[in-house]
């Protein structure tokens, strides 16, 4: 289908339908109208006809902040992910409360978040209090873990319902010059002194296994990730406004989550207020550059098979800037969300081509949406094995990233398409024929596969003649 999917909310869709119906009624009417009005309505109808000629109208499901924020979980590490899921849970519950929506759909989302947060391996940062429902309680399993985050802690006893936060709070007698924000950076003697004092202080609360440790009222383990995500969501919500208003209005949102963050900071010391100022400035700057790169990027839709397509997104950046695997995953998530309007069923695979300024190096990053099978590890490992001289594939650093020379890009892209195509074809044959029959046909089918690949490439070349070759514009084609 050559049409783009235009995702509309229900109210937007109803408004378009209402206008189109009114135009149809006007055409059927014999009543004389003013000539200017007639021209205006004809002009409107022509524009709406163009809308249907170029777009498939798709109604957007009801969504809350949580469901917009949730895809970004995959672009951060595991410890950060726990805080993001925690934020999502709060957001979803606040949405249910303020909008009085209790549909099964949202209840299912709460359970999914609950399961996801429990499934994160090596997770010591989040626990759930089953007696209080599905809302997660961000906590720590030991005093040492709590003190690694901050010397100033609250002690929480979920059995003590009437007095949820016991009035036990201490600065641990740490002098200003010793304050580092990290308990482990103190000398061992000082660490032991603090632990002894705290343990003596909390002996009155038993059993110890019922205790959770929280920093102040709300802990966001990685608050800069939270800031970035809030800004991106605000950008999405206000995507119909002018671009220059996004990055400065985004921090003024009165959203429930943002208020939680602000409330916590009001309770904090000057140390945290300086962090807030620092994050506010740097988050806006980071995203302004990043979103500009996304908007200025070259994009191309590539046919792997007749029913399977991926996007190639080409950006340029300075060395060691926006090139870390987490950052590439973050950028890929933005591309995917913009391309799909944050709707899961429209998301597809993306290949990020990142050219390094003043260098011959190019980084390729393969992105897979949530709930889809990740083919990139298999693809990159195959082409890296057969083209070891052209490709640097550091599996310890990141399995979804390869480094190549810019001049080799056209060749490597052809290799990626060839391997991707063979994987998809094999999977399709498995579904149709089954494992045993497929094994019998593998030998006899090798020659046919080569012919099919040549035909697919020929078809793709014919298709590309009708498309603007954005890759060529980026210096990939040397002819």
Whether residues 289 and 340 fall in one domain: no
191 burial type by CB count under 10 A (0-12 exposed, 13-18 middle, 19+ buried):
middle
Nearest CA among 411, 425, 410, 432 for reference residue 456: 425
pLDDT higher than 60, residue 259: no
Q: Round to whole Å and give the CA distance between 84 and 69.
A: 8
Domain-embedded: residue 166: no
- Residue 271 sits in the same domain as residue 353: no
Q: Is 443 a member of any domain? A: yes
The residue that leads in pLDDT, 248 or 268, is: 268
268 and 386 together in one domain: no
Residue 110 lies in a domain: no
CB 312 within 8 A of CB 353: yes
| pLDDT score, position 232 | 57
- 152 in any annotated domain: no
Beta bridge partners of 166: 155
Q: What is the CATH number of the domain that holds 355?
A: 3.10.310.40
Angle at 359 between CA 356 and CA 363, to 5 degrees: 40
Taking only the tens place, the pLDDT of each residue in 15-43 is: 777 766 666 555 555 444 566 666 666 66
Q: How confident is the model at residue 308 (pLDDT cuts 50, 70, 90)?
A: confident
User: Of 191-205, 285-299, 410-424, which gets the smallest average pLDDT?
Assistant: 191-205
Q: Tell me, yes or no, whether 207 lies in a domain.
A: no
Contact status, residue 170 vs residue 198, Cβ threshold 8 Å = yes
pLDDT tops 80 at residue 45: no
Among 64-68, 150-154, 423-427, the range scoring the smallest mean pLDDT is 150-154
Identify whether 478 is part of a domain. Answer: no
d(CA 364, CA 354): 6
Name the more confident of 281 and 441. Answer: 281
- In terms of domains, do 366 and 409 share one? yes
Outline where 297-340 has alpha helix (H). Answer: 325-340
Last residue of a domain, one of 294, 311, 346: 294
User: For residue 330, what pLDDT is reported?
Assistant: 82
Assigned domain for 433 exists: yes
Residues 357 and 278 grouped into a single domain: no
In this structure, what DSSP letter does residue 174 have?
A: -
The H or E element containing residue 432 is helix 409-433
Distance separating alpha carbons of residues 103 and 162, to the nearest angstrom: 32
Higher pLDDT, 243 or 51: 51
pLDDT digits (tens, 9 = 90+) for 166-213: 333 344 444 444 444 455 666 778 777 766 766 665 554 444 433 333
Closest CA to 346 of 365, 328, 373, 369: 369
| DSSP calls for 92-110 | HHHHHHHHT---HHHHHHH
Task: Look at residue 130 in the predicted model and tell me its pLDDT.
Answer: 42
- Same structural domain for residues 239 and 376? no
Last residue of a domain, one of 59, 74, 95: 59
Q: Domain limits at 451?
A: 297-473
Residue of 255, 332, 340, 335 lying closest to 61 (CA atoms): 340
Same-domain check for residues 360 and 329: yes
Whether 398 contacts 332, CB under 8 Å: no
Do residues 459 and 350 share a domain? Answer: yes
427 with 317, same domain: the answer is yes
Distance between CA atoms of residues 443 and 465, nearest Å: 35
Q: Model's pTM, two decimal places? A: 0.52
Contacts of 208 (CB under 8 A, 6+ apart): none
Mean pLDDT of the chain: 64
Residue 33 backbone phi and psi in degrees, to 5: -130, 165
Asked if 126 contacts 79 with a C-beta cutoff of 8 angstroms, the reply is: no
155 DSSP β-pair partners: 166, 213
439 and 341 belong to one structural domain: yes
The verdict on 287 and 328 lying in the same domain is no
**pLDDT at position 343 over 60:** yes
Percent residues over pLDDT 90 in the chain: 11
Residue 93 in any domain: the answer is: no
Assign 335 a pLDDT band (cuts: 50, 70, 90).
confident
What letter does residue 354 receive in the DSSP assignment? E
For 224, phi then psi, to 5°, come to: -70, -35
Question: How many CB atoms are closer than 10 A to CB 410?
Answer: 15
Cα dihedral angle (426, 432, 433, 436), rounded to 10 degrees?
Answer: 60
Number of domains in the chain: 3
pLDDT band of residue 383 (cuts 50, 70, 90) is very high
Q: Kindly report the backbone phi and psi dihedral angles of residue 373, in degrees, each rounded to the nearest multiple of 5, phi listed first.
A: -70, 135
Output the pLDDT for position 388: 86
What band does 478 get if pLDDT is binned at 50, 70 and 90? Answer: very low
Are residue 355 and residue 271 in the same domain, yes or no?
no
Instruction: Give the dihedral sign, CA 171/175/178/181.
Output: positive
Last residue of a domain, one of 59, 74, 106: 59
């Amino acid at each position: 289908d050559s049409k783009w999917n235009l995702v509309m909310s229900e109210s937007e869709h109803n408004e378009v339908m209402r206008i189109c119906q009114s135009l149809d009624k006007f055409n059927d009417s014999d009543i004389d109208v003013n000539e200017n009005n007639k021209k205006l309505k004809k002009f409107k109808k022509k524009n709406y006809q163009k809308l249907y000629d170029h777009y498939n109208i798709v109604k957007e499901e009801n969504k809350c902040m949580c469901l917009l924020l949730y895809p970004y979980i995959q672009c951060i590490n595991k410890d950060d992910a726990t805080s993001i899921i925690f934020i999502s849970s709060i957001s979803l519950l606040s949405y249910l409360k303020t909008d009085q929506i209790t549909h099964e759909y949202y209840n299912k989302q709460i359970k999914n978040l609950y399961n996801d947060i429990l499934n994160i391996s090596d997770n010591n940062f989040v626990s759930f209090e089953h007696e209080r429902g599905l809302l997660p309680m961000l906590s720590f399993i030991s005093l040492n873990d709590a003190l690694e985050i901050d010397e100033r802690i609250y002690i929480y006893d979920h059995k003590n319902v009437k007095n949820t936060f016991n009035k036990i709070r201490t600065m641990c007698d740490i002098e200003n010059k010793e304050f580092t924000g990290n308990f482990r950076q103190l000398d061992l003697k000082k660490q032991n002194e603090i632990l002894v004092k705290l343990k003596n202080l909390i002996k009155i609360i038993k059993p110890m296994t019922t205790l959770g440790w929280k920093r102040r009222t709300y802990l966001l383990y990685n608050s800069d990730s939270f800031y970035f995500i809030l800004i991106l969501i605000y950008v999405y919500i206000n995507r119909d406004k002018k671009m220059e208003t996004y990055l400065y209005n985004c921090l003024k949102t009165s959203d429930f989550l943002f208020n939680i963050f602000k409330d916590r900071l009001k309770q904090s010391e000057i140390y945290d207020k300086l962090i807030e100022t620092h994050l506010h400035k740097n988050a806006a700057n980071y995203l302004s550059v990043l979103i500009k790169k996304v908007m200025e990027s070259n994009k191309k839709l590539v046919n792997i098979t007749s029913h399977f397509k991926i996007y190639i997104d080409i950006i340029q950046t300075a060395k060691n800037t926006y090139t870390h695997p987490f950052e590439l995953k973050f950028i890929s998530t933005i591309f995917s969300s913009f391309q799909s309007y944050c709707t899961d069923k429209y998301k597809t695979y993306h290949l990020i081509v990142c050219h390094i300024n003043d260098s011959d190096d190019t980084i390729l990053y393969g992105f897979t949406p949530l709930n889809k099978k990740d083919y990139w590890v298999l693809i990159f490992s195959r082409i890296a094995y057969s083209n070891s001289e052209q490709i640097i594939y550091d599996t310890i650093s990141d399995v979804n990233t390869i480094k190549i020379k810019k001049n080799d890009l056209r060749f490597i892209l052809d290799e990626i398409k060839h391997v991707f195509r063979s994987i998809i074809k094999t999977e399709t044959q498995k579904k149709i024929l089954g494992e045993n029959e497929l094994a019998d046909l593998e030998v006899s089918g090798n020659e046919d596969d080569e012919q099919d690949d040549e035909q697919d490439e020929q078809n793709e070349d014919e298709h590309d003649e009708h498309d603007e070759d954005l890759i060529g514009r980026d210096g990939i084609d040397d002819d």
